[in-house]
Structure 1
Amino acid sequence: MNFLEGLKIGDIKTKIPIVQGGMGVGISLSGLASAVAKEGGIGVIAAAGIGMLEPDGHSNYIEASIRRLRSEIRKAREISDGVIGVNIMVALSNFSDMVKTSIEEEVDVIFAGGGLPLTLPQYLKGSTGKTKLVPIISTARVASLICKRWVEKYDYLPDAIVVEGPEAGGHLGFKQEEIDNPNYSLEKLVPEVVKDVKNYEEKYNKSIPVIAAGGIYSGEDIAKVLQLGASGVQMATRFVTTHECDAATEFKEAYINSTENDTVIIKSPVGMPGRALTNKFIEDVNKGVKTPFKCPYHCIKTCDYQNSPYCIAITLINAQRGKFKYGFAFAGKNAYKTNEIISVKELMENLVSEYKNAVSQ
């Protein structure tokens, strides 16, 4: 796969095969997504907890979430005519609403992870069919399971598949003991997924590009995964330290000021391990210092909100606003490598340049 040929997902074609990973709560909204789309990548709005950003988010979460997602998609469309996607966690209690809203707004791509999106194609019924469906998975076994189920039940195959390795930021689709296990490294996962997906491509005569994610930071990293058979990459951490990222400056500075030892694996209330930047808030949680809270809305199905020491949604919103006394930042393993805030345009140009240098050597 040649990086400079872009990425093709069905009838969608990008100039550059980079998907900006969806980052909730409120880290990747219309500001970042539209900037990435404008530069030829796929810009992605994160749906997780999006209703909490509205003034009535606590009292009217369902309606607030639909309203805010619709608004962010429309804003992104006004700024850019590029490819816009929405990232929707399957574990969201309002998953169905977020999917329906995205399809109604004819968003280009839905990326669905944080659980198995086994019923996702059912939402396309009665729509224009413009929206592409892309599951985010962690192993070849899961990729095969989704392909098999979608074909049998909906006569539909994924339009692409994102395979996310354990070096990603945020919630991870791996058990604690698998995170540092070389058998689950991205270098091992990509060829396995490509091989399994190829069987479905050949059998049903449909192209299913595999997009690699998790710990990809530089143009050199991109070159490595494309050589393994990936058609594109998903990157999130690298886009945090851009001017257009929708987080507060303090959030971006937390990345810039971090060291390699600052990224830690936490046990999230939603029942998955997560990679974050350590701080006093996390240290207090680890010490058993409970943060009293009232669950405003049971936003994630798997959240043990009755026994959790904190609300993950409120904690992440506090971080997005730069209030780290009451929150923490999710971050990929390579967050410490960031050292300045630049524009999305400059970042994309840097990645292309780094890629060219890597393949010319």
Structure 2
Amino acid sequence: MFKSFFIGEKEIKLPIIQGGMGVGISLSGLASAVANEGGIGVISSAGLGLLYRRKPGDYLKDCIWGLKEELRKSREKSKGTIGVNIMVALSNFADMVRTTIAEKADIIFAGAGLPLDLPSYLSTSSETKLVPIVSSARAAKVICEKWQTNYNYLPDAIVVEGPKAGGHLGFKRENLEDANYSLERLVPEVLAIATSYKDKKTIPVIAAGGISTGEDILRFIQLGASGVQIGSLFVPTDECDASDAFKQIYVNSSQSDLMIIQSPV
């Protein structure tokens, strides 16, 4: 049996967080379906202005409109926990953060860079929880120290992504098979940072990257993670917002079709 855990006062009954996948892969359809099962559904904010185009075109304004619309749709479909994934590397990071908080989304997941100023967007009435995504204990420590010193705020949870996660992580190709960078190694290291603040706040740690079976989930929970984040596994589902053609490519692919590309971040 899975154990629930808390992010702030919010109980997460199924300890599975659906990873944010842009552009247009994880929107309100997938996010609300996961939330309805007791996990955390996550809308990706990346490229929403490409999906919500108005005339005359204004990409940045269209992104804001698109995010509001996806959050509105998710609230219609679910009473569960909905988060928004916002990459620090986005040129409209601040717009997406402000919109998410104003729309009272439950959680912001921020990765692809260090979200060192994220708490600065909160006001005393804000309800949105802040969860950075890191790829090392060092990054977790830097974020905790900066947030506490500058804003008297600590993360509400931390997602730690190993080298097998998709996206913009800061790993090198040779780290993939290096045991020193494995998720099994990273989770206890990040847990040690989170636990060092236990007198001030309980900070759950969520393991992410290459998790695809029940055995994987159990292994990381036994290592001390409160939950896991899963992305790609959700793509071929009916509920996923991607096109059927995109889903079929996943279904019909084999190991030999996989390619590793260098991230621009």
Settle same-fold status: TM greater than 0.5. Answer: yes
Letter in 2 for 1:240: V
1:106 matched residue in structure 2: 104
Letter in 2 for 1:166: P
Letter in 2 for 1:53: L
2:82 matched residue in structure 1: 84
In structure 1, distance between residues paired with 2:20 and 2:192? 26
Tell me which of 248, 251, 254 is aligned to 1:256: 251
In structure 1, distance between residues paired with 2:64 and 2:151? 26
Does the C-alpha gap of structure 1 residues 172 and 58 become closer, same or farther in structure 2, counting only changes over 3 Å? farther
In structure 2, distance between residues paired with 1:31 and 1:226? 28
Which aligned pairs between 1:194-233 and structure 2 lie closer than 5 A?
A: 194-202=191-199, 204=200, 206-233=201-228
1:149 matched residue in structure 2: 146
1:265 is paired with a residue whose SS is coil
2:170 is paired with a residue whose SS is coil
Which aligned pairs between 1:60-75 and structure 2 lie closer than 5 A?
A: 60-75=58-73
Letter in 1 for 2:232: T
Runs of 4+ in structure 1 over 6 Å off: none
| C-alpha displacement of 1:185 | 0.6
The two structures, once aligned, show a CA RMSD in angstroms of: 1.4
Does the C-alpha gap of structure 1 residues 58 and 143 become closer, same or farther in structure 2, counting only changes over 3 Å? farther
Tell me which of 13, 16, 25 is aligned to 1:27: 25
1:162 matched residue in structure 2: 159
2:116 is paired with a residue whose SS is coil
TM-score with structure 1 length normalisation? 0.71
Instruction: Tell me the percent identity.
Output: 60
1:266 is paired with a residue whose SS is coil
1:280 matched residue in structure 2: none
Task: Work out whether 1:193 is the aligned partner of 2:190.
Answer: yes
1:132 matched residue in structure 2: 129
1:86, 1:102 within 8 Å by CA — same for their partners in 2?
A: yes
Letter in 2 for 1:260: Q
Task: Work out whether 1:179 is the aligned partner of 2:169.
Answer: no
| C-alpha displacement of 1:57 | 8.6
2:196 is paired with a residue whose SS is helix
Deviation per CA, 1:152-183: give whole Å up to 9, x if none: 00000000000001111233331233233221
Gaps of at least 5 residues in structure 1 are 273-361
Deviation per CA, 1:79-112: give whole Å up to 9, x if none: 1000000000000000000000000010000000
Q: More displaced, 141-150 or 168-177?
A: 168-177
Structure showing greater radius of gyration is 1
| C-alpha displacement of 1:6 | 1.4
| C-alpha displacement of 1:58 | 9.0
1:170 is paired with a residue whose SS is coil
1:174 is paired with a residue whose SS is coil
Does the C-alpha gap of structure 1 residues 21 and 57 become closer, same or farther in structure 2, counting only changes over 3 Å? farther
2:165, 2:208 within 8 Å by CA — same for their partners in 1?
A: yes
Deviation per CA, 1:131-169: give whole Å up to 9, x if none: 000000000010011000000000000000000011112
Does the C-alpha gap of structure 1 residues 57 and 97 become closer, same or farther in structure 2, counting only changes over 3 Å? farther
In structure 2, distance between residues paired with 1:8 and 1:120? 21
Deviation per CA, 1:235-264: give whole Å up to 9, x if none: 011111110100011111111111122221
1:15 matched residue in structure 2: 13
Deviation per CA, 1:292-311: give whole Å up to 9, x if none: xxxxxxxxxxxxxxxxxxxx
Gaps of at least 5 residues in structure 2 are none
1:13 is paired with a residue whose SS is strand
Say how many residue pairs are matched. Answer: 265
TM-score with structure 2 length normalisation? 0.97
1:51, 1:57 within 8 Å by CA — same for their partners in 2?
A: no
2:53, 2:59 within 8 Å by CA — same for their partners in 1?
A: no
In structure 1, distance between residues paired with 2:191 and 2:75? 32
In structure 1, distance between residues paired with 2:132 and 2:2? 24
1:239 matched residue in structure 2: 234
